[in-house]
Amino acid sequence: MGSKHVNRAYLALGSNILPEENLPAAVAALTQFGEIEQVSSVWESAPVGDTNQANFLNAAVLLTTTLSAHEVRLNAIDFVEQQLKRKRDAENINAARTIDIDIALFNQDILRIEHRKIPDPEIFERAFLAIPLAEIDPGYLHPETNQTLNEIAEGFRSSANVMQRRLDVRLRNEES
């Protein structure tokens, strides 16, 4: 087949069970599937849906990989979530979790993987998605709206006090 195309997978990460350990562990594990080109700051935000649980720590990473979007979802994300003992609660999709990884954006593609739409429509609704994504690639043009990630994140900046940057949590060792 020839050389494989290198894809840009923009991944959203969240955790509220030992998140200071699980977020960096997830980033380290993702390196088995490509190269981590960019990492955002870590942001603390209140839980959505089931509010009777610990706050979440959220971040975004840009993974360059030869895997397709489906392979990232089925191979990389499932592997990392299993490695970090992610438990899914069918009765409460917003339950506490060791790690949650979603493909927020993939190249400039518009697609669907299982029940998830890419680009993730919640980028326009959730500061904890928009702001970390804008940190890793502010000029990225959303394929459906032609807005930059920075423009999308600007809509949340005035309400950014709902999130707090956690400078004490590092996603990669070399960022010390």
3: which residues sit within 8 A by CB, 6+ positions away? none
Please report whether residue 173 resides in a domain: no
- Residue 172 in 3-state DSSP? coil
**What is the sign, positive or negative, of the torsion defined by CA atoms of 69, 70, 71, 73?**
positive
126: which residues sit within 8 A by CB, 6+ positions away? 48
Please report whether residue 172 resides in a domain: no
48: which residues sit within 8 A by CB, 6+ positions away? 94, 126
Please report whether residue 143 resides in a domain: yes
Give the distance, in angstroms, between the CA of residue 155 and the centroid of all CA atoms in the same chain. 19
Q: Residue 151's domain spans which residues? A: 7-166
Please report whether residue 176 resides in a domain: no
Number of domains in the chain: 1
Count CA within 13 A, CB hemisphere, residue 100: 19
What is the rounded average pLDDT of the residues 115-130?
94
Between residues 50 and 7, which one has the greater pLDDT? 7
Length of the chain in terms of residues written? 176
Instruction: Render pLDDT for 16-64 as a digit per residue (tens, 0 to 9).
Output: 988 999 999 999 999 999 999 999 999 998 888 777 888 999 999 999 9
Burial classification of residue 90, based on how many CB atoms lie within 10 Å of its CB (0-12 exposed, 13-18 middle, 19 or more buried): exposed
CA 53, CA 46: separation in Å to the nearest integer? 9
Say if residues 69 and 111 touch (Cβ distance below 8 Å).
yes
Say yes or no to pLDDT of 176 above 50: no
Q: Which two tokens stand for residue 27?
A: 């980033």
Confidence class for position 1, pLDDT limits 50, 70, 90: very low
Please report whether residue 97 resides in a domain: yes
Please report whether residue 30 resides in a domain: yes
Q: Could you tell me which of 127, 114, 144 has the C-alpha nearest to residue 40? A: 127
To which H or E segment does residue 30 belong?
helix 19-30
Instruction: Render pLDDT for 53-101 as a digit per residue (tens, 0 to 9).
Output: 889 999 999 999 999 999 999 999 999 998 887 777 666 566 678 899 9
Please report whether residue 174 resides in a domain: no
Catalytic sites, residue numbers: 86, 97, 100, 102
User: CATH number, domain at 160?
Assistant: 3.30.70.560
Structure-token match 């690639």, residue found: 137
Please report whether residue 171 resides in a domain: no
